[in-house]
């Protein structure tokens, strides 16, 4: 799987090169909803000042340049209503609406806002933190403790046996939907060990020959998904009935269509269907 990188259009930075009054792209979030202007090419508000929109942000950050234009992220109060002709839309539902690289940049933007919001105070001594000028980081003026935006790596695996794909029904999320085996990488383990452990824990089987498939930033709330393909090695499917309600092997024609193509899970399923259909 290869994806266009957002970094072909986007150059990250933490402070603008020059203070100017030229228009910039704004990622404006009301909780997890992004302000969309359907009239603009990129669907993002484009203005030289939020004052022009009569918006007073709770917090804002410079993001760098996009197609040579400055861009910013801001968070607004929950009671803020969208400007005329614009709308606040749930970021998760915007995958098919925004250019893919704008969607990815919006994912970066909301993670920076959430990190800022959740690191107002030092985790070690409780002193209010200060923004560090050289990077996306916060420094405690009392004890010097630094905090950075955190990422939680997770693995997701397409496991194949005799031309069938293993899918499981989880007790969280949509209960009637089968999806791939997935879970967070734990401290101290490699991603390969996480694939083996999650598969053993969730469905009681062992896998072999796993291969890296690709990765995806998943900003809900701050994951990095690492996709793998693997072959069944040994064991019988066994589920706990609590976290995993059921698991079974699906032939390509038995797999229900995914609700959206947003996730790397859907791409792994597409890979399987393409490779194992007659």
User: For residue 83, what are the contacts with CB-CB under 8 A and spacing of at least 6?
Assistant: 35, 45, 53, 55
Burial environment of residue 59 by CB neighbours within 10 A (0 to 12, 13 to 18, 19 or more): middle
Give 7's contacts (C-beta < 8 A, 6+ positions apart). Answer: none
- State whether residue 58 is helix, strand or coil: coil
Q: Which residues of 103-124 are buried (b: 16+ CB within 10 A; e: fewer)?
A: bbbbbbbbbbbbbbeebeebee
When the beta carbons of 9 and 145 are compared against Zn ion, the nearer one is: 145
The secondary structure element, H or E, covering residue 214 is strand 206-218
Beta partners for residue 75, in sequence order? 29, 59
Shortest distance in whole angstroms from residue 116 CB to Zn ion: 17
Residue 169 in tokens: 């029904």
Taking the complex as a whole, how short is the minimal distance between the CB of residue 66 and Zn ion, in angstroms? 34
Nearer of residues 49 and 142 to Zn ion, judged by Cβ: 142
State the Cα–Cα distance between residues 71 and 192, nearest whole angstrom.
37
Which residue ranges make up the site for Zn ion (CB under 5 A)?
122, 124-125, 127, 140, 142-143, 145
141 or 221: whose CB is closer to Zn ion? Answer: 141
Least spacing, CB of residue 44 vs Zn ion, in Å: 36
CB of 46 to Zn ion, least distance (A): 39
Q: Which is nearer to Zn ion, 61 or 119 (CB)?
A: 119
Query: Between 143 and 174, whose beta carbon lies closer to Zn ion?
Result: 143
């Amino acid at each position: 799987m290869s994806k266009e990188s957002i970094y072909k259009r986007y150059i990250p930075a933490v402070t603008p090169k020059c203070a100017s009054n030229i228009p910039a792209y704004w990622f404006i979030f009301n909780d997890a909803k992004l302000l969309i202007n359907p009239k603009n090419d990129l669907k993002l508000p484009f203005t030289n000042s939020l004052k022009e929109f009569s918006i007073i942000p709770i917090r804002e950050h410079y993001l760098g340049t996009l197609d040579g234009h400055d861009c910013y992220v801001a968070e607004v109060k929950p009671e803020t209503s969208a400007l005329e002709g614009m709308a606040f839309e749930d970021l998760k539902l915007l995958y098919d609406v925004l250019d893919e690289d704008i969607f990815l940049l919006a994912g970066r933007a909301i993670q920076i806002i959430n990190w800022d919001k959740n690191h107002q105070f030092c985790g070690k001594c409780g002193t209010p933190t200060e923004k560090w000028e050289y990077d996306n980081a916060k420094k405690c003026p009392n004890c010097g403790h630094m905090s950075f935006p955190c990422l939680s790596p997770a693995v997701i695996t397409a496991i194949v046996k005799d031309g069938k794909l293993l899918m499981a029904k989880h007790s969280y999320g949509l209960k009637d939907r089968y999806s791939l085996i997935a879970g967070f990488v734990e401290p101290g383990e490699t991603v390969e060990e996480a694939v083996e452990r999650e598969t053993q824990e969730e469905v009681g089987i062992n896998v072999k020959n796993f291969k890296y498939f690709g990765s995806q930033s998943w900003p809900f709330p701050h994951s990095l998904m690492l996709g793998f393909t693997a072959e069944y090695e040994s064991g019988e499917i066994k589920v706990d009935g609590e976290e995993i309600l059921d698991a079974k092997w699906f032939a390509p024609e038995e797999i229900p269509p995914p609700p959206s193509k947003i996730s790397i899970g859907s791409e792994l399923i597409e890979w399987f269907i393409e490779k194992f259909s007659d």
